[in-house]
Amino acid sequence: MSQQDLAVVILAAGKGTRMKSNLHKVLHPLGGRPMLHHLLDTLEQLHPSRKVIVVGAGKEQVQQSVGDQAETITQEPQLGTGHAVQVTGDQLRGFEGDVLILYGDVPLLSAETLENLIRVRRGANDPAVVVLGFEPKDTKAYGRLVVNDQGILEAIVEHKDATSAQREIGLCNSGIMAVNGAVMFDLLDQLDDNNAAGEFYLTDIVGIAKSKGYECAVSVADEAEVIGINSRSELAEAEAAFQQACRHSFMAAGVTLLAPETVHFSYDTVIGRDVVIEPNVFFGPGVVIEDDVTVKGFSHFEGAIVRTGATVGPYARLRPKADVGRNAKIGNFVEVKKSVIGEGAKVSHLSYIGDAVIGAHANIGAGTITCNYDGYNKALTEIGKGAFIGSNTALVAPVKIGDGAIVGAGSVVTREVESDALAVTRANQKEIGGWAAKFRSKQTKK
């Protein structure tokens, strides 16, 4: 049986009331990406032939976010997890491959864990249901997985129903399952709502399968992968786990983090080898840092690329479409947006560079700004190779500074400067002798 004989059901019909948000729970970001999309990205590695998301409240948000990545169907009314899978009948009844049943608020599952879950389902004993278990440090109120000496799953026992001996079991239920699609609806059709909540529980299919003579089994995952997110606090816990995994991965790949716990990554951050990252650095989505880069403390990146050998920071901000060239320098309190900084160029202090192209080895003095916005449109500033822009200069776009040109400090440049020319626009200095002393004397006599 190939991976294409795989369907996935993602349960995302919960109202998420504990999040206290207008945004659907599964769309809250984790590492800069909605948690549901983390799960969808992981599933791409498994190549399922069908993906069905069961939605309820806020379904329009989920449908808009997912687009054509998966089919969405509505569970209405919402009568429990078993009922949520039952409503996929039109899509999956008759499907004879394997069905993964996942949760949109459990986003940190790895492809390896899901592949192992499928492998157990396809094992020699042909279990009808395989439950993903985990062994938490604190078993809390989790349901327990009762397994016999042969490793066969005998039952799922809810904490409130467990005996004192069963509560000593360390293997807990994540709720995630792999089910033989050929028998799944035979099991689901036997569910009843004879319980205090009046709901159809998905976990009951284990007992139903056992009563029909099918085997059930367990696959085990790391606790960090099955974190469920139902509140802002749990979202923060999942973010912490995600960040910790990123940090270990980058350091293992040759990145130096001087204070790992203070560096924040996004889901798609790319960092090369021999990069040094100082404390308190934030990487938003879409950032690429090439080899041998130094990132100094308190810098912030979004949608930017920093090329080999460059230095950025401290206290620098690189906004979307900032492209910092090889061996270039972006210094303290410099903001760069939608600009190309040429190889070896320097923007060392207190500058704003937006909608600009800066040539190789140009030098941009402290306090320089590109005046790129007129209130309606953005315009381009071009600075040539080897040009020198004096401190406290305003370059009013659209404007071009030629190769090797020098712009004197304090200038407001509104017209093109030719290559190798000097442009100075400051007013002539005027001096009135003794004026300051007379002014002070007058003020003290009031």
Q: Binding site for UDP-N-acetyl-alpha-D-glucosamine, residues?
A: 11-14, 25, 75, 80-81, 103-105, 143, 158, 173, 230, 319, 337, 352, 363
Q: Which residues pair with 277 in a beta bridge?
A: 257, 295
Annotated binding site: 11-14, 25, 75, 80-81, 103-105, 143, 158, 173, 230, 319, 337, 352, 363, 366, 372-373, 391, 409, 426
> Would you give the DSSP letter of residue 409?
T
Token digits of residue 368 = 């320089």
- What are the DSSP calls for 67-114, one per residue? GGGSEEEE-SS---HHHHHHTTHHHHTT--SEEEEEETT-----HHHH
The span from the CA of 3 to the CA of 43, in Å, is: 11
Angle of CA points 260, 266, 267, to nearest 5° = 120
3-class secondary-structure state, position 198: coil
- Single-letter residue type at 256: T
Nearest-10 crossing angle of helices 181-188, 204-211:
100
The span from the CA of 182 to the CA of 329, in Å, is: 61
Q: Is the peptide bond between 398 and the residue preceding it cis, with omega within 30 degrees of 0?
A: yes
Residue 346 contacts residue 364 (beta carbons within 8 Å): yes
Exactly one of 37, 159, 264, 349 is catalytic; name it: 349
Residue 78 contacts residue 58 (beta carbons within 8 Å): no
Sign of the C-alpha dihedral, residues 81, 86, 91, 93? positive
Task: Give the count of beta carbons closer than 10 Å to the beta carbon of residue 113.
Answer: 21
| 223: phi then psi, degrees, rounded to nearest 5 | -55, -40
Return the CA Rg of the chain: 30
Residue 305 contacts residue 322 (beta carbons within 8 Å): yes
Element (H, E) at 378: none
Annotated binding site for Mg(2+): 105, 230
The span from the CA of 12 to the CA of 35, in Å, is: 11
> Would you give the DSSP letter of residue 420?
T
3-class secondary-structure state, position 443: helix
> Would you give the DSSP letter of residue 31?
T
Identify whether 349 is a catalytic site residue.
Answer: yes
The span from the CA of 340 to the CA of 195, in Å, is: 64
Give the residue numbers marked as catalytic: 349
